[in-house]
């Protein structure tokens, strides 16, 4: 795995994680907040086993630009992780909204971007696993757009919704 790879697990309601680098992944669940965990446990079992790994279309951007984006993606994930708590209400809300990226999603994203730029300790307070990963990408590519901006309403995108979007826009998973 490499920085930015998105891992989607389809069992149950599904689960989403993002590779921080080749050694760690970021994810959130009902027992813990958005945090780093080792990509492999002490027995060598890889985090992504049983999941589908989607790699961003980095090749469309060039090596130097990609390195900068990966670093920014890591910084945005860490900023979210400092304040975000997993929210059961957020998980329930997934069923109540539309995952189409529109004016409400854009306004919410800008609010988070403004908080980060102002140096606020809180980027977002409550989050789901898919939302955390999508927001990490959106905050990184908000001003740049391009093939890595995930055009979904992060607050209403389930893991299966994200998987469909990734397949349509990034292609088939590289494993899983």
Per-residue pLDDT tens digits for 82-118? 887 776 666 666 666 788 899 999 999 999 999 988 9
- pTM for this structure? 0.89
Contacts of 2 by beta carbon, 8 Å cutoff, 6+ apart: 19, 21, 22, 55, 70
With beta carbons less than 8 A apart as the criterion, state whether 162 and 8 touch: yes
Per the structure block, which two tokens stand in for 96?
């109540």
Radius of gyration of the CA atoms of the chain, in A? 15
pLDDT tens digits for range 131-162 = 999 999 999 998 667 789 999 999 889 899 99
Per the structure block, which two tokens stand in for 76?
């945005």
Please tell me the distance from the alpha carbon of residue 46 to that of residue 114, in angstroms, as a whole number: 36
Per the structure block, which two tokens stand in for 103?
């004016």
């Amino acid at each position: 795995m490499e920085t930015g790879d998105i891992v989607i697990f389809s069992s149950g309601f599904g689960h989403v994680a993002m590779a921080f680098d080749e050694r760690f992944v970021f994810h959130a669940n009902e027992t813990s907040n958005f945090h780093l965990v080792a990509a492999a446990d002490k027995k060598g079992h890889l985090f992504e086993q049983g999941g589908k790994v989607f790699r961003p279309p980095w090749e469309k951007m060039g090596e130097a630009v990609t390195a900068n984006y990966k670093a920014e993606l890591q910084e945005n994930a860490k900023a979210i992780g400092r304040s975000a708590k997993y929210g059961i209400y957020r998980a329930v809300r997934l069923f109540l909204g539309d995952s189409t990226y529109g004016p409400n999603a854009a306004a919410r994203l800008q609010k988070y971007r403004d908080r980060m730029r102002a140096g606020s300790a809180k980027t977002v307070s409550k989050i789901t696993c898919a939302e955390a990963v999508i927001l990490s990408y959106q905050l990184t590519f908000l001003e740049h757009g391009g093939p890595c901006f995930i055009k979904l309403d992060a607050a209403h995108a389930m893991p299966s919704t994200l998987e469909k979007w990734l397949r349509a826009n990034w292609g088939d998973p590289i494993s899983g």
